[in-house]
Amino acid sequence: MRILILSPHTDDAELGCGGSIVRFIEDNNEIYWVVFSTAEESLPEGSPVDTLQKEFINVAQYLNLNEDNYKIFNFRVRYLHEKRQEILEHLINIRNEFEPELVIGPSINDYHQDHQIVANEMIRAFKTTSSIISYELPWNHITFNSELFIKLEEKHISAKCNLLNNYKSQILKNRSYFSKEFIYGLAVTRGVQCNSKYSEAFEVIKWMI
Ligand SMILES: [Zn+2]
């Protein structure tokens, strides 16, 4: 299956569906991963501006993805709304070239301003061509509809932790959602809901068979 992954900032998709990405690659799906902002203004003081871009490339290399499997845009963090139409046009180009069967991106219930833009443009671009699901970032949601579960094993969650360990700049900022306890805790919680040891939950925006 051709799977398009949309990440407003470099670490969002790993946090929301890193275990599932590992499983998709293991199952030989074709991945194209788009990052919209490398969040140069959200780095610890004194960090080089390309820090998050390098950290994302480390993640891609860990997953054996090459440059044909991802695209990094450099829109300004927290200002994606100013580039809404440009983002839509990029997504339409990607739709025409990659023809994804499944698109995974942020939730329309995610209150981060950049995530809302990507969620809305994702639906606008793919609403009649692809199945669309949204990953879970609990600190950004007031409500989240856990409608689809991707069952995972220990190896997928431990690989998810390895992916996130590449983001040293964010770990330095003591972001609680980077902790192993949180990642395992959420995966176990979602696993309990679908009779699996671990899982990641998704909202279904559109499903086509
Ligand atoms: Zn983000």
Kindly state the average pLDDT of the residues 166-191: 91
DSSP structural state of residue 205 = E
Whole-angstrom Cα distance, residue 124 to residue 6?
A: 14
For residue 142, report the distance from its CA to the centre of ligand 1, in Å.
16
Cβ atoms 125, 88 nearer than 8 A: yes
For residue 12, report the distance from its CA to the centre of ligand 1, in Å.
5
Cβ atoms 14, 56 nearer than 8 A: no
For residue 135, report the distance from its CA to the centre of ligand 1, in Å.
12
For residue 94, report the distance from its CA to the centre of ligand 1, in Å.
21
pLDDT digits (tens, 9 = 90+) for 13-56: 999 999 999 999 999 999 999 999 988 777 777 788 888 899 99
Kindly state the average pLDDT of the residues 118-130: 98
Ramachandran category for residue 117: left, alpha or beta (phi over 0 → left; psi -120 to 50 → alpha): alpha
* Top-level class of domain 2-206: alpha beta
Tokens of 153: 């094993």
Res 6: pLDDT: 98
Put simply, whether the predicted model's pTM sits higher than 0.85 gets the answer yes
Res 174: pLDDT: 83
Query: Could you tell me how many residues make up the chain?
Result: 209
pLDDT of 92 strictly over 90: yes
List Cα–Cα distances, 200 to 11, 15, 17, 152, 187, in angstroms: 16, 10, 6, 7, 6
For residue 42, report the distance from its CA to the centre of ligand 1, in Å.
10
Sketch the domain layout of the chain as residue ranges: 2-206
